[in-house]
Amino acid sequence: MGYQSKGGFMKTLREVEVGKTAKVSKINGEGKVKRRIMDMGITKGTEIYVRKVAPLGDPIEVTVRGYELSLRKADADIIEIE
């Protein structure tokens, strides 16, 4: 999965396996969507632990900055990770 970006092939939060931790490298998207994600504490350099994924793949439950958060697949797709 992933997508081609200026710097090469990037991986998104949606692709991280359950039980793994990833570091945010960039948040794509614009306006309200990007602002909402940043307001949840997901910013560049933040580590995100993927706790579980719902049976049909949506939502994804993660731990960010010590609290649990559920993200839609569409939101997880715009979060690039290292």
Containing structural domain, residue 42:
3-81
| Euclidean distance between CA atoms 46 and 69, whole angstroms | 14
Q: Say if pTM beats, i.e. exceeds, 0.95.
A: no
CB atoms within 10 A of CB 17: 8
Predicted pLDDT at 8: 54
pLDDT per residue as tens digits for the range 43-77: 999 999 999 999 887 899 999 999 999 999 999 99
Rounded Cα–Cα distance for residues 82 and 80 (Å): 7
What CATH number does residue 74 fall under? 2.30.30.90
Supply the pLDDT for residue 64. 95
* pLDDT on residue 46: 93
Report pLDDT for 9.
64
Q: What is the mean pLDDT of residues 20-44?
A: 92
* pLDDT, mean of residues 27-33: 90
Please report the pLDDT score of residue 58 as a whole number. 87
For 62, other C-beta atoms within 10 Å of its C-beta total: 24
Please state the domain count of the chain.
1
